[in-house]
């Protein structure tokens, strides 16, 4: 059985062994922070996309979806601020030769202080009956001291980031006596800004005039199409435009599997609202998006909000929905009130009006925008890591099972004839031919049935339908449940409705 420390390693190894995720171009030793999705991974990913896309575009009659190109006119990125401000502060340790994000080193100190506070709280909660957390954290001397330190660091970090003051950043690292986790030394270089956009040239001439970028977010494809969609779709404010697509960032530190990649996918929705109403919609989308996540059933305690202290250049309010990943709580989704920053900037740089005429108020204005932005790969990691369970069974044996929510599972049902003879395979194939239009099926007749069940557990198939000799007599099969491992005998005629009910993404959406 794995402890917390190597659980993440086991999840990564499992993802590779069972066809979920492979390192990119592995035969050439891979490419740092780039991954390929295998046969099971692609299915799981598609199901997550469907859950999101349907939530946005089926459940909201004022949200439509688009699919914009990855390449955009280079001025897009000047207007959006990415050319000038999409930087991360980087620092190198001269001894280990490792590169770090300076802000993350500092945030690491804050996290450690927060952990210390939590430890004090836990200790006190055990000691006192009717423990009052709020009272404790404001009166306990040690906790107050930790909190003071956190506030101080946050304020300095915010200032340094906000002013792009890299010298102040370096000073903070020195003052906090941060050491490199690998070399253990404080032999740091200066902090430098590093732009995260990948660039290439369009056409045959490799000069600066032809330089274009691989989009670092999908959002801009929505902004530049705002009026196209509004006019052709006769959309009335408030309305949203949703999009799923690839984004690219030349991340400085990309070491946590698919959590931080250089090529990844985003599922973003920009919601256009009347100026002044953005905070109402910001709260609305915060609540809605949290409900969408929690409805998956991975455990509501595994999600929490985290308000941004250092607001991005375009936001007047922002928070993350964090998830309890194997390495702790980290950002899963961002919800941002982006004001009219983007549309205004595109108006300025393009010279084209990007205003909405409000027929109710009889006036034109640039709408404000509330954005929800979730990384598809991070969603994948949240589902995979929380579904992965190493179990000791009553008979002393062990199994690894992926308890993936049934509607997201790569295969919904495995059709397994008990033996390869006596007409059982033919009967099983007939059942599969009936089910396969509604449910992704996996057919297998090799090996003992127990082994086959384990293989399905390992790829997260929620149900196994076993065809045995009794099937030939009374047209019944057994359905084995992945999580309880219980089997029930069911009439073949009832199998389809039962499984569709349990595995339907639409049923999941009904619970939101
Ligand atoms: N349009 C706003 C935007 O891009 P962001 O917070 O930079 O905001 C949104 O990114 C989401 O995209 C994040 O919450 C995360 O899930 C995902 N994401 C960002 N960078 C990523 C990376 N390098 N690898 C994987 N996912 C990433």
**In this predicted model, what pLDDT tens digit does every residue of 72-112 receive, in sequence order?**
999 999 999 999 989 999 999 999 999 999 999 999 999 99
Could you identify the atom of ligand 1 that is nearest to the CA of residue 333? Answer: 14
Mutate to test the pocket of ligand 1, among 214, 373, 377 (most ligand atoms within 8 A of CB): 373
Q: 373 CB less than 6 Å from ligand 1?
A: yes
Q: Is the pLDDT of residue 204 over 90?
A: no
Q: Are 414 and 463 in contact (CB under 8 A)?
A: yes
Mean pLDDT, residues 48-68: 98
- Which residue's CA is minimally distant from atom 20 of ligand 1? 260
- Check the CA dihedral 286-289-293-299 and report its sign: positive
Q: Is the pLDDT of residue 157 over 80?
A: yes
Report the share of the chain in percent with pLDDT over 70: 98
Q: What's 439's DSSP letter?
A: S
Nearest to 293 by CA among 301, 318, 8: 301
- Which residue's CA is minimally distant from atom 25 of ligand 1? 260
The pLDDT-based confidence of 206 (bands split at 50, 70, 90) is: low
> What value, to the nearest 5°, has the Cα angle with vertex 57 and ends 51 and 60?
110
Dist. CA 334 → ligand 1 center (Å): 7
**pLDDT score for 309:** 74
Q: Are 146 and 113 in contact (CB under 8 A)?
A: yes
Range with the lowest mean pLDDT among 31-40, 104-113, 236-245, 305-314? Answer: 305-314
In angstroms, the CA 397 to CA 97 distance is: 45
Mutate to test the pocket of ligand 1, among 77, 334, 377 (most ligand atoms within 8 A of CB): 334
Domains present along the chain, CATH in parentheses: 39-72+198-384 (3.30.930.10), 87-195 (3.30.40.230), 399-509 (3.40.50.800)
The pLDDT-based confidence of 253 (bands split at 50, 70, 90) is: confident
Query: Widest CA span of the chain, in angstroms?
Result: 81
Q: 462 CB less than 6 Å from ligand 1?
A: no
**In this predicted model, what pLDDT tens digit does every residue of 105-151 receive, in sequence order?**
999 999 999 999 999 999 999 888 888 988 898 999 999 999 999 99
In angstroms, the CA 118 to CA 143 distance is: 9
The pLDDT-based confidence of 205 (bands split at 50, 70, 90) is: low
The pLDDT-based confidence of 311 (bands split at 50, 70, 90) is: confident
Phi, psi of 265 (to 5 degrees): -120, 140
List of E strands, 148-280? 192-195, 199-201, 211-213, 239-248, 263-273
- Which residue's CA is minimally distant from atom 22 of ligand 1? 260
Report the share of the chain in percent with pLDDT over 90: 89
Q: 334 CB less than 6 Å from ligand 1?
A: yes
Binding residues: 101, 217, 249-251, 259-268, 331-332, 371-378
**pLDDT score for 430:** 97
The structure tokens 């030939």 sit at 472
Tell me what the pLDDT averaged over the chain comes to: 95
**In this predicted model, what pLDDT tens digit does every residue of 449-486 receive, in sequence order?**
999 999 999 999 999 999 999 999 999 999 999 999 99
Sheet with 328-339, strands from edge to edge, namely: 63-66, 239-248, 263-273, 368-375, 328-339, 317-325, 303-307
**pLDDT score for 255:** 77
Q: Is the pLDDT of residue 50 over 60?
A: yes
């Amino acid at each position: 059985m794995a402890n917390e420390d190597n659980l993440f390693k086991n999840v990564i190894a499992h993802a590779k062994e069972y066809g979920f995720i492979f390192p990119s171009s592995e035969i050439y030793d891979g490419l740092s922070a780039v991954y390929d999705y295998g046969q099971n991974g692609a299915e799981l990913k598609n199901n997550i996309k469907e859950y999101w896309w349907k939530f946005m575009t089926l459940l909201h009659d004022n949200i439509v979806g688009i699919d914009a190109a990855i390449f955009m006119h280079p001025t897009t990125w000047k207007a959006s601020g990415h050319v000038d401000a999409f930087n991360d502060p980087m620092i190198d340790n001269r001894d280990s030769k490792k590169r770090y994000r300076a802000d993350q080193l500092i945030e690491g100190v804050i996290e450690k202080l927060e952990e210390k506070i939590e430890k004090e709280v836990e200790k006190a909660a055990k000691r006192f009956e009717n423990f009052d957390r709020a009272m404790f954290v404001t009166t306990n001397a040690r906790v107050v001291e930790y909190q003071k330190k956190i506030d101080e660091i946050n304020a300095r970090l915010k200032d340094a980031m906000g002013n792009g003051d890299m010298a102040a950043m370096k000073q903070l690292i020195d003052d906090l006596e941060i050491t490199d986790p690998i070399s253990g030394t404080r032999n740091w270089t200066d902090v430098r800004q590093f732009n995260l956009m990948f660039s290439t040239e369009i056409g045959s001439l490799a000069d600066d005039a032809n330089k274009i970028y691989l989009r670092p977010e999908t959002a801009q494809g929505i902004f530049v199409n705002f009026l196209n969609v509004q006019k052709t779709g006769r959309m009335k404010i408030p309305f949203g435009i949703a999009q799923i697509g690839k984004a690219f960032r030349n991340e400085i530190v990309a070491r946590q599997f698919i959590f931080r990649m250089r090529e990844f996918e985003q599922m973003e929705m920009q919601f256009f609202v009347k100026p002044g109403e953005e905070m109402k919609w910001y709260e609305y989308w915060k609540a809605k998006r949290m409900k969408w996540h929690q409805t998956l059933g991975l455990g509501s305690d595994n999600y929490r909000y985290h308000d941004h202290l250092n607001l991005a250049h375009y936001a007047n309010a922002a928070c993350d929905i964090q998830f309890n990943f194997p390495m702790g709580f980290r950002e899963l989704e961002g919800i941002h009130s982006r004001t009219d920053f983007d549309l205004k900037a595109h108006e300025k740089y393009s010279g084209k009006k990007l205003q909405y005429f409000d027929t109710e108020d009889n006036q034109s204005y640039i709408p404000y925008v509330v954005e929800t932005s979730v990384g598809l790969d991070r969603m994948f990691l949240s589902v995979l890591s929380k579904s992965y369970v190493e179990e000791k069974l009553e008979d002393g044996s062990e199994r690894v099972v992926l308890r993936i929510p049934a509607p997201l599972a790569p295969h919904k049902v495995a059709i397994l004839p008990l033996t390869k003879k006596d007409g059982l395979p033919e009967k099983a194939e007939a059942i599969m031919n009936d089910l396969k239009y509604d449910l992704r099926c996996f057919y297998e007749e090799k090996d003992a049935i127990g082994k086959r069940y384990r293989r399905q557990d390992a790829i997260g198939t929620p149900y196994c339908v076993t065809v045995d000799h009794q099937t030939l007599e009374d047209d019944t099969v057994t359905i084995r449940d992945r999580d309880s491992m219980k089997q029930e005998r069911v009439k073949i005629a009832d199998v389809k409705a039962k499984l569709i009910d349990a595995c339907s993404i639409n049923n999941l959406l009904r619970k939101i």
